[in-house]
A and B are shown apart, each in its own frame.
Chain A
């Protein structure tokens, strides 16, 4: 199995023509090397857990060493978590953070602590959308290009998923899987969402395939004769799937045809796949169907897959400490159950899971919540992850300090592109390919997270 070279060339041309990629010294020799390097030997999957609303970073990964906690508590006031509640979830990892900083997980994320200490989870500090490395003075003076429409939910969701604001026509995971178009028997089951519509999975030729928490949904009318008439049922199937001239009708038909075909295949592939464990919450149910589809990978002929799941409710402008702990509890329990299931299935080192969210939040309190921010902290989990470590840096906690802009919003020091490149590299993409998938990667240290995930 190898990278589809024609696909790669098409992408190279498309990106080059749009000017999105810098003049890359592409030649066939380099391409051959990239393809050889990225030829995948076995199954790998990425799972994106999107926290819709903008997760509050400071009450998820809490500054814990005495000085940092004092600054945190003073800045947050009534929304600060009490320090004595953090003792049990203080992280004792394989490496200290730069400068000896210590962090604790929010108490409700306790199920993740063993994963961190086992080395199966890494913490990314202060990551977010950036076009180029950006210093505070450059932000204030608008002296460097910035991601458009910062602080806007829908646009920053899109930026995390596609590296462009709302309206983007492809996502970075879709572009990544385009490189492995030949790896899977069927493109339909390459990018799969159990978490709603997402541009993340859209590549050049296919967008994400949608499943419910029990898998695919059957069209009941096609399983029987419509009012006793097989002619009516046959016509119904024809009407809803026939190619159309009108562009919206064409989409409706395409989706219906795919729904019918994929349902047949997925239903059969999932029939005997059971995943043990406690998957009760809405997020856990999504992760359970992901685990089941991973369990059916051979029947589906899949070698490279990306999954998308999501959790709503993180826009906690009000009632942060009433609402947020329950969300994190659901997140922590779901992720822990998922990792446990993957281990039981023997694929823990074949699946890398990461959290994402449109933005972080303000350091200061608005009374009982926090407002839209920029940089945030995230988790990367899996057997291939070099965990028990922090990646990136946390600035000194000071609302008007050099690490914060616009009155307490973290200025990211890691770019989404860098995370994507690390995950893409693990997936099997070569350096040149990654620069095509992540056009702004050339502005950053592409190797910053090289050690984040390593192949077994």
Chain B
């Protein structure tokens, strides 16, 4: 957490948020969506932040990944085994780049970096449908109730595979077999409360000068019994089993007493009741608001939010204004409309976050209205770190995501100031080159069927200053120095005016390569 003093009390939303400039609107859209488009910038300027956001939050989920894969006929033998998951990339990027419900889609992606499932871990047929269905589940609940989200995640087969509690059996006193502890541990460490007790503002609660750990091995062992007896629901004859919550086999569910986090589920309680009780206990823990709230702020807005900002978001989690707890729509609204997000000091050396590579690519596509020329969306696995992004959606190597929310880059001024920079965990001498090598390809010629004509930009190419101003507005909003923009315009002007498309490509490459852009403000 930033050590800087608390931000001032929230200003009146109406006065400070009413009339964004195009640059401010662009910066808002970088936080709220997969990147600004010319049309969205116009809409935010016209309607204001809150009205635009509320309209987004009211949108129902757009066509699911699962249904799109079905529509594309990917539910065949060809895609049954693991390893041929390419259509998953297609649909994930399709929605990142083109879904109308952008806020929901972006929040779902953010949640996929908290509730992490990697497609290669899905030990059931058609793993691509499992991963697609999991992202759909996150989108369905992204603006809903946290406890329902946690319950749906806990019943999901892909998560059951990822954290190995699919088929988990009750204890056997004769052989000494104990239930698999994997999910019980990680649901607490990663999906809900974390390892240490937190204050409502996200700071670590200190008792007698020391942090207080939230659970022990005994809690893990007690909660592990809840996640016994759950497994695939129905035969693997068609892909629909991936959409059904896991089924309970009560014969394999532990009927022993289950103690965890101070709660006791009495002996003899069946699986459904035990799960419901566990979800209630975990969701009611006071850590959830600051723990999940901080991570959503980090994924959308800034790596080091002030304690006051976290406190306001956690308060929205605890009570959405109607007395309801865990309303994620209220949390997202609180994050994006907070005065700290809307009116930060853009010159502060610690504000913002490194744009994660997935967002850089999506933002390029959206800014320049790239779309699939044939509906196939043939995107690659972008995990390679020498000529791709060093990150690919739903391909994290472990449940700990591509990077950790508390990552401190060693030997830096950031570390000296006790600041975190999660995305720098995948930023190194190899991946910085890899990003630029990929950028050079897609800015130049798109990717397969993903193409942009750069029409509006080419129209400005005779005036390099105007061209660069547009590129800067679309990619970086109002957080890019005039000096750098002028230098880029000067360099671009050395490309003959008779090659307008090359001027456009050079301008985009130079803006998208610069650290000023790479840190989202």
Interface centre among B177, B303, B419 (most CB of A within 10 A): B177
Q: CB distance A229 to B413 under 8 Å?
A: no
The smallest C-beta distance from A284 to any residue of chain B, in angstroms, reads 18
The yes or no answer to B436 lying at the interface (CB within 8 A) is: yes
A371 and B182 form a contact (CB under 8 A): yes
Say yes or no: A251 contacts B421, CB within 8 Å: yes
CB neighbours of B213 from chain A (8 A): 148-149
Inter-chain contact A210/B428, CB cutoff 8 Å:
yes
Residues of B within 8 A of A170 (CB): 410-411
Q: Given the complex, which residues of B lie within 8 Å of A256, measured CB to CB?
A: 432
* CB within 8 Å for A317 and B182 given contacts A152-B195, A251-B424: yes
For chain B, which range describes its interface: under 10, 10 to 19, 20 to 34, or 35 or more residues?
Answer: 35 or more
Residues of B within 8 A of A245 (CB): 349
Kindly name the residue among A228, A312, A367, A399 whose own CB sees the greatest number of chain B CB atoms within 10 A.
A367
B37 interface contact, C-beta 8 A:
no
Answer whether A255 and B175 are a contact pair too, CB < 8 Å, given A226-B509, A366-B180. no
Residue A239 interfacial (CB < 8 Å): yes
Chain B residues in 8 Å Cβ range of A77: 175-177
Q: What is the size, in residues, of chain A's interface with B at 8 Å between Cβ atoms?
A: 81
Cβ–Cβ < 8 Å partners of B397 in chain A: 312
B376 interfacial by beta-carbon distance below 8 Å: no
A252 touches B518 (CB 8 A): yes
**Which residues B453-507 have CB closer than 8 A to chain A?**
484, 487-488, 490-492, 494-495, 499, 502-503, 505-506
- A-contacting residues, B383-442, CB 8 Å: 385-386, 397-398, 400, 404, 406-417, 419-421, 424-434, 436-437, 440
Chain A CB within 8 A of B519 CB: yes
Residues 377-426 (chain A) with a chain B CB within 8 angstroms: 399, 406-407, 409
Interface string of B151-183 (1 = CB under 8 A from A): 000000000000110011100000111111110
What's the minimum C-beta distance from A446 to chain B, rounded to whole angstroms? 26
Question: Are A240 and B411 within 8 A (Cβ)?
Answer: no
Please, which residues of chain B bring their CB within 8 A of the CB of A42?
none
Contact for A252 among B221, B354, B426, B509, CB less than 8 A: B354
Residue from A151, A167, A251, A318 in contact with B406 in the complex, judged by beta carbons closer than 8 Å: A167
Q: Does B312 contact A (CB under 8 A)?
A: no
Indicate if the CB atoms of A252 and B350 lie closer than 8 Å: no
In the complex, how many angstroms separate the beta carbon of A265 from the nearest chain B beta carbon? Answer: 12
Contact status B425-A197, CB under 8 Å: yes
Question: B65 to nearest A CB, angstroms?
Answer: 26
Chain B residues positioned under 8 Å from A248 (CB to CB): 303, 350, 352-354, 414, 421, 424, 515, 519
Task: Determine if B510 is an interface residue (Cβ-Cβ < 8 Å).
Answer: yes
Given the interface contacts A166-B404, A232-B492, A251-B412, does A367 sit within 8 Å of B509 by beta carbon?
no
Residue of B nearest to A220 (CB): B437
User: CB < 8 Å: which of B163, B179, B509 contacts A221?
Assistant: B509
Q: Does B217 contact A (CB under 8 A)?
A: yes
- Looking at A21-29, A110-118, A199-207, A298-306, the stretch in contact with chain B turns out to be A199-207
Interface pair A207/B409, CB less than 8 Å apart: yes
Which residues of A have CB within 8 Å of B499? 227-228
Given contacts A152-B195, A167-B408, A204-B411, contact A317 B427 (CB under 8 A): no
Closest to A193 in B: B428
User: Is B189 at the interface (CB under 8 A from chain A)?
Assistant: yes
A-B contact pairs, 16 of them (CB 8 A): A78-B177, A169-B408, A169-B410, A202-B411, A220-B437, A221-B436, A232-B495, A232-B509, A235-B491, A240-B436, A245-B349, A250-B412, A255-B427, A255-B428, A317-B164, A371-B178
Known: A152-B185, A229-B494, A247-B421. 10 other contacts (CB 8 A): A77-B176, A78-B177, A207-B409, A217-B386, A221-B513, A240-B513, A251-B409, A252-B432, A362-B181, A366-B180
| Interface residue ranges, B against A (CB under 8 Å) | 163-164, 167-169, 175-182, 185, 189, 195, 211, 213, 217-218, 220-221, 303, 349-354, 385-386, 397-398, 400, 404, 406-417, 419-421, 424-434, 436-437, 440, 484, 487-488, 490-492, 494-495, 499, 502-503, 505-506, 509-510, 513-516, 518-519
Which 8 residue pairs are nearest across A and B when measured between Cβ atoms?
Answer: A202-B410, A210-B428, A249-B515, A259-B429, A318-B164, A227-B502, A317-B182, A217-B433
